[in-house]
């Protein structure tokens, strides 16, 4: 009997214990979405706790009779929830301090910003969509500290800015950051093709702790794009449609013929040339008066080619439709997008059916699907496609030496307003022998070049929780495939009939005597052969993830295997394989430490040097979580000190340096002859020697940062100092004499230091019904070449590149204009040229009383500005909202020595030439005398690229809900926004945009399609 009673009692207690253990599943969110890594504890058993995952989901098994759980997270008010009779719950958290619950994206994971030890800056997709820019990187400028960029062209489909994270640290390898979209590496050129409507957030990873996990690819920083995903709820359909117009930020304004020719007469006279020979029939006062009156346009033409080929403005359209929603098990986000960006060229009537304007047509599609197959197993299927069509006119030229860029051509000496009229009296196109082709005729007859890109991306990810092994452990596998197919079509002709009109005899001379008809159009072989597609990339990843709280201790880790194969057309495939790990620990969100490591390599290097280890360690201290601080410094909500140090790599080497571990042999064009009766035989001779020890560039990164929140989240400040040392830069030896006859391979010996700082401050507040914010950021990055193996120049050591910034400009130092002959007599002698009053005077740097090559030294700043900053502000009041962004840059220089020349093919007179030196204006002149020997590079020709732009403005109005609900619509918003609206800078008189490239033989600052300003109007309608 006792045995039976004992068995019954044991069974009762066992059943009771089982009955007490209940499993509760839930999700945690705030007003902005899921809240990850929240601590969930059982009220009656505080030792029983779990963390929510990165989607805010959690599962906890209650082990006592308690019917309550406690949810806590730094930055949120603690919440106690009764779960009696429930197995699943949804919890909404309230922020106690604005911003402390923010989550940042790091490599292959998300972290709470409060417990992150890395240097990360983020922007939401909502902010991006305030800009009407067609390329996504053009929307980032001024918004993220540490992001430097330069948009040198406004061409539709090719207007994406070049961008760099914390400047540049190399002089041979690429400085472009790694691009990662939803954990998958993208090509740098793909960024501009992403539709902003698909983006949830963009983060830039700047220090070693955040980039070491990418190892050999992380030295230039990482730009991480996270796309939008579905959320639980009824289907929500959003239609966004906008249209606007674009116009150049700067117009080139050459002087009309009657103002320009007298300046050229002065130029030629001063330089000892005969104006009557160089400007036949145009130098008399009567001729200049005809130019002014325009009464004989065929004999005295006055053509502003800029105006003749360009419209005042052009159209831009964008439409987006997205659907999102889902259940607890299946969530979806589907987006369709279309953008049309028309070109600025005038559309002329044609006898042939082709489009000779620039344009971009792009279709974007994205489908992100999340499926919870079981409580522990989930799938993520992402499919995206981009179909683009980029058209541009064919711009042939027949001048000797090849064609100049069209935009340079139409404001150069080749096409001065008086060279020839657009049309001759008989309606034929004007031209001139030995001259460049008629630009209007080009638009009518020369045809077009068109490029099609079909970019398909598939990303399949499976995730399985391994709580049966240990809580917080999961495994994730990803298979990603990209297929980018490009095709090209060109229908072109290289010339067409043009005639030079001889007004005196009323006759026409053909510029091409052998051309009597318009030639048949044909494809451009060089354009067609530039095809570099298709590209196929297969990427596989396996990730083991772990995160678990043990009372006041949180431990997390990640182990990654990643490999990819990249095949471009018939080229040799590029292979990459890597392993990475992350281990982190925090105690009460107070003391933080994290270790990251990448071990990876690529097939660009010999097998013995193929792999490298890239470690990094970081630590943080949340001072504000210390009791002595929290209880006494009430106005500080959050104060964190953090630092990191580590090494990363860069394998983006120039194609010139690819596979240089192989010795090169070449076959010269000339054969050798042997024997008494010479017999010609082909030969092979050694080329560059092999460098079997070649490897990637490495960079040691140090970062020190502070994060501060004050006054209940009203003021946030983040500041960073960084010190990057790039070494093992592939460098061609300059110290080995050429007479050795040896062609040496580049070796890993170069070093560059890159140091700087960033600061970002944000103020948010609410006064009554008005919410407002004010935000500013400032970034400074300065690099210096520490070693480059260059020969020592004993006569002028100032020419050394070592010790200078990458891209340093060299020239003389401007010391005013020679005032008169007496000034010339007492000044150092200008070697090799005869100077006159009004010419540029240079400083005698070495003190030898003469001006020669030994007085050339470093001047100005590199073309890429060393300072970038942004100031934004905005407010909302009831249904109205407005935001504004100012963006600027400083400490950059542009070379204007060629751009401002006249009297040759480089340029034509403009407003600046009116401010030339003459005996009457010697005290106020801003330009040297015309016709002098003044175009040696000097500080006089350097122009500062400092500028401040009104980069973005948006105003919006929500139609009152009481009105829209009557028609079954959730929300209607009307808005207007603009891009590059106003620019304050010092280059207006030169008609050059401040983001122009520095300039060179064929890439002068005005050689590219003009930068554009955009005025845009839109409508957004949401249905639910």
In the chain, what are the domain boundaries? 22-92, 103-231, 257-301, 807-958+980-1013
User: Using only C-alpha atoms, what is the Rg of the chain?
Assistant: 34
Burial class (CB in 10 A: 0-12, 13-18, 19+), 202: buried
Q: Report d(CA 695, CA 605) in Å as an integer.
A: 6
User: Which residues, including other chains, have CB under 8 Å from residue 119's CB and lie 6 or more apart?
Assistant: 146, 205, 206, 207, 209, 210, 644, 703, 705, 720, 722
Torsion of CA 943, 948, 954, 955, to 10 degrees: -130
Q: Which of 996, 816, 756 is nearest to 892 (CA)?
A: 996
- What is the three-state SS of 754-805? EEEEEEEEEEEEEECCEEEEEEEEEEEEEEEEEECCCCCCCCCHHHCCCCCC
| Homologous superfamily of 103-231 | TonB-dependent receptor, plug domain (2.170.130.10)
- In a 3-state reduction of DSSP, which class is residue 320? strand
Q: Report d(CA 69, CA 24) in Å as an integer.
A: 10
Structure tokens at 104: 């940042």
* 8 A C-beta contact, residue 488 and residue 388: no
Q: Report d(CA 977, CA 211) in Å as an integer.
A: 35
Can you give the pLDDT at residue 532? 63
Angle at 307 between CA 305 and CA 312, to 5 degrees: 155
* Segments in 324-468 forming alpha helices (H): 406-409, 439-445
Q: Report d(CA 452, CA 439) in Å as an integer.
A: 26
Q: Which of 903, 905, 988, 995 is nearest to 945 (CA)?
A: 995
Calculate the CA 139 to chain-centre distance. 9
Can you give the pLDDT at residue 848? 92
* 8 A C-beta contact, residue 659 and residue 633: no
Q: Report d(CA 276, CA 964) in Å as an integer.
A: 74
Q: Report d(CA 692, CA 743) in Å as an integer.
A: 15
- In a 3-state reduction of DSSP, which class is residue 104? strand
Structure tokens at 547: 């995160």
Q: Report d(CA 836, CA 818) in Å as an integer.
A: 7
Q: Report d(CA 24, CA 43) in Å as an integer.
A: 13
Structure tokens at 560: 């990654």
Can you give the pLDDT at residue 454? 92
Going by their DSSP bridges, the two strands 679-681 and 971-985 should be labelled as unpaired
Q: Report d(CA 525, CA 490) in Å as an integer.
A: 9
Going by their DSSP bridges, the two strands 880-890 and 867-877 should be labelled as antiparallel
Helices (H) and strands (E) in the chain, counts: 13, 53
Identify the bridge partners of residue 777 per DSSP, sorted by sequence position: 760, 870
**257-270 vs 285-293: helix crossing angle, rounded to 10:** 150
Q: Report d(CA 96, CA 113) in Å as an integer.
A: 15
Compute the half-sphere exposure of residue 839: CA atoms within 13 Å on the CB side of its CA.
20
* 8 A C-beta contact, residue 720 and residue 120: no
33: left (phi over 0), alpha (psi -120 to 50) or beta: left
- Expressed in percent and rounded to 5, the helix, strand and coil fractions of the chain are 15, 45, 40
* 8 A C-beta contact, residue 879 and residue 957: yes
Q: Outline where DSSP puts E strands in 327-446.
A: 330-342, 359-372, 377-393
Torsion of CA 142, 147, 151, 155, to 10 degrees: -90
Q: Do domains 22-92 and 103-231 have the same CATH topology?
A: no
Find tokens 């060089």 and name the residue.
526
How many other C-beta atoms lie within 10 A of the C-beta of residue 591?
15
- In a 3-state reduction of DSSP, which class is residue 913? helix
Does a cis peptide bond (omega within 30 degrees of 0) precede residue 534? Answer: yes
Q: Report d(CA 549, CA 882) in Å as an integer.
A: 43
Which of the 8 DSSP states describes residue 347? -
Q: Report d(CA 883, CA 479) in Å as an integer.
A: 40
Q: Report d(CA 832, CA 810) in Å as an integer.
A: 19
- In a 3-state reduction of DSSP, which class is residue 627? helix
Q: Which of 547, 535, 496 is nearest to 517 (CA)?
A: 496
How many other C-beta atoms lie within 10 A of the C-beta of residue 39?
21
Give the dihedral sign, CA 510/514/516/521.
negative
Can you give the pLDDT at residue 45? 76
The CATH class, in words, for 22-92 is: mainly beta
pTM (2 decimals)? 0.88
* 8 A C-beta contact, residue 786 and residue 802: yes
User: Which residues, including other chains, have CB under 8 Å from residue 308's CB and lie 6 or more apart?
Assistant: 346, 422, 439, 440
Can you give the pLDDT at residue 596? 95
Q: Which of 530, 570, 709 is nearest to 635 (CA)?
A: 709
Angle at 785 between CA 779 and CA 791, to 5 degrees: 160
Find tokens 């020709």 and name the residue.
941
* 8 A C-beta contact, residue 71 and residue 28: yes
Give the dihedral sign, CA 176/181/186/187.
negative
Angle at 636 between CA 630 and CA 638, to 5 degrees: 80
* 8 A C-beta contact, residue 729 and residue 748: yes
Give the dihedral sign, CA 164/165/166/168.
negative
Structure tokens at 182: 């939803």
Going by their DSSP bridges, the two strands 850-851 and 867-877 should be labelled as unpaired
* Residues of the chain scoring pLDDT < 50: 8-19, 1001-1002
Q: State how far the alpha carbon of 781 is from the alpha carbons of 516, 777, 868, 947, in Å.
A: 59, 14, 9, 17
Give the dihedral sign, CA 74/77/78/83.
negative
């Amino acid at each position: 009997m006792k045995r039976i009673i004992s068995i019954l009692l044991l069974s009762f207690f066992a059943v009771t214990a089982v009955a007490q253990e209940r499993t509760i599943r839930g999700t945690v969110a705030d007003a902005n979405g899921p809240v990850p890594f929240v601590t969930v504890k059982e009220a009656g058993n505080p030792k029983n706790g779990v963390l929510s995952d990165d989607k805010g989901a959690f599962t906890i098994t209650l082990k006592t009779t308690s019917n309550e759980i406690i949810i806590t997270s730094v930055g949120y008010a603690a919440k106690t929830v009764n779960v009696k009779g429930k197995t699943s719950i949804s919890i909404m958290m309230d922020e106690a301090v604005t911003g402390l619950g923010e989550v940042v994206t790091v490599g292959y994971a998300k972290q709470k910003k409060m417990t992150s030890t890395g240097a990360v800056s983020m922007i939401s997709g909502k902010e991006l969509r305030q800009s009407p820019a067609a390329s996504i990187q053009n929307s980032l400028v001024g918004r993220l500290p540490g992001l430097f960029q330069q948009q040198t062209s406004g061409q539709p489909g090719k207007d994406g800015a070049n961008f760099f994270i914390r400047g540049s640290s190399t002089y041979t390898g690429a400085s472009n950051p790694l691009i990662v979209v939803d954990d998958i590496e993208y090509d740098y050129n793909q960024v501009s093709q992403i539709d902003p409507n698909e983006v949830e957030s963009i983060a830039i990873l700047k220090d070693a702790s955040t980039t070491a996990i990418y190892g050999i690819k992380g030295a230039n920083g990482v730009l991480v794009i996270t796309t939008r995903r579905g959320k639980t709820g009824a289907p929500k359909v959003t239609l966004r449609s906008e249209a606007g117009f674009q116009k150049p930020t700067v117009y080139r304004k050459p002087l009309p013929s009657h103002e320009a020719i007298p300046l050229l007469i002065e130029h030629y006279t001063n330089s000892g040339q005969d104006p009557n020979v160089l400007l036949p029939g145009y130098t008399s006062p009567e001729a200049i008066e005809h130019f002014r009156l325009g009464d004989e346009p065929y004999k005295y033409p006055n053509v502003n080619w800029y105006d003749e080929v360009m419209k005042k403005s052009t159209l831009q359209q964008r439409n987006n439709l997205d659907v999102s929603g889902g259940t607890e098990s299946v969530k979806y986000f589907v987006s369709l997008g279309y953008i049309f960006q028309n070109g600025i060229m005038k559309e002329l009537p044609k006898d042939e059916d082709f489009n000779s304007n620039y344009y971009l047509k792009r279709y974007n599609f994205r489908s992100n699907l999340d499926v919870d197959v079981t409580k522990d197993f989930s799938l993520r299927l992402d499919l995206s496609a981009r179909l683009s069509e980029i058209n541009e006119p064919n711009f042939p030229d027949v001048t000797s030496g090849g064609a100049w860029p069209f935009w340079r051509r139409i404001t150069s000496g080749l096409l001065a307003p008086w060279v020839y009229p657009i049309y001759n009296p008989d309606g034929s196109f004007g031209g001139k022998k030995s001259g460049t082709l008629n630009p209007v005729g080009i638009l009518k007859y020369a045809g077009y070049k068109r490029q099609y890109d079909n970019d398909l991306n598939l990303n399949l990810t499976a995730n399985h929780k391994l709580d049966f092994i240990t809580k917080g452990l999961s495994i994730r596998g990803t298979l990603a495939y990209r297929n980018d197919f490009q095709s090209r079509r060109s229908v072109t002709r290289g010339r067409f009939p043009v005639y030079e009109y001889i007004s005196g005899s009323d006759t026409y001379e053909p510029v091409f005597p052998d051309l009597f008809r318009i030639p048949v159009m044909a494809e451009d072989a060089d354009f067609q052969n530039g095809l570099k597609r298709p590209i196929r990339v297969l990427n596989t990843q396996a990730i083991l993830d772990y995160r678990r709280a043990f009372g006041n201790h949180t431990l997390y880790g990640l182990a990654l295997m990643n490999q990819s194969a990249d095949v471009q057309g018939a080229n040799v495939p590029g292979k990459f394989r890597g392993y990475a790990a992350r281990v982190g620990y925090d105690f009460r969100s107070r003391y933080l430490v994290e270790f990251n490591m990448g071990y990876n390599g690529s097939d660009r290097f010999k097998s013995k040097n193929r792999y490298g280890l890239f470690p990094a360690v970081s630590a943080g201290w949340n001072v504000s979580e210390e009791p002595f601080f929290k209880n006494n410094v009430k106005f500080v909500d959050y104060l964190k000190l953090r630092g990191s140090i580590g090494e990363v790599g860069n394998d983006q080497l120039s194609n010139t340096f690819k596979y240089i571990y192989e010795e090169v042999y070449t076959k010269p064009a000339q054969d050798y002859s042997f024997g008494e009766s010479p017999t010609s035989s082909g030969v092979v001779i050694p080329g560059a020697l092999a460098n079997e020890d070649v490897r990637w560039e490495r960079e040691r990164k140090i970062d020190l940062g502070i994060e501060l929140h004050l006054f209940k989240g009203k003021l946030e400040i983040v500041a960073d100092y960084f010190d990057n040392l790039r070494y093992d830069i592939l460098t061609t030896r300059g110290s080995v004499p050429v007479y050795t006859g040896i062609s040496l391979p580049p070796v890993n010996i170069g070093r560059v230091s890159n140091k700087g700082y960033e600061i970002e401050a944000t103020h948010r507040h609410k006064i009554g019904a008005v919410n407002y914010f004010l935000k500013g950021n400032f970034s400074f990055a300065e690099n210096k070449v520490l070693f480059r193996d260059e020969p020592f120049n004993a006569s002028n050591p100032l020419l050394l590149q070592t010790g200078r910034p990458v891209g340093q400009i060299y020239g003389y130092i401007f010391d005013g204009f020679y005032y008169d002959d007496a000034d010339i007599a007492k000044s150092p002698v200008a070697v090799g040229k005869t100077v006159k009053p009004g010419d540029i005077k240079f400083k005698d740097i070495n003190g030898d009383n003469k001006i020669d090559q030994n007085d050339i030294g470093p001047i100005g700043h590199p073309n890429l500005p060393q300072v970038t900053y942004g100031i934004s502000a905005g407010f909302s009041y009831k249904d109205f909202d407005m935001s504004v962004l100012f963006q600027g840059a400083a400490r950059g220089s542009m070379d204007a020595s060629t751009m401002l020349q006249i009297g040759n093919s480089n340029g034509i007179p403009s407003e600046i030439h009116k401010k030339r030196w003459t005996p009457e204006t010697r005290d106020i002149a801003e330009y040297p005398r015309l016709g002098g020997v003044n175009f040696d590079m000097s500080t006089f020709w350097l122009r500062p690229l400092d500028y401040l732009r009104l980069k973005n403005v948006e105003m919006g109005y929500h139609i009152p809900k009481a009105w829209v609900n009557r028609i079954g619509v959730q929300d209607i918003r009307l808005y207007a926004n603009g891009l590059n609206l106003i620019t304050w800078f010092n280059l207006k008189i030169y008609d050059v945009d401040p983001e122009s490239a520095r300039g060179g033989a064929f890439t002068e600052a005005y050689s590219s399609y003009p930068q554009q300003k955009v005025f845009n109007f839109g409508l957004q309608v949401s249905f639910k």
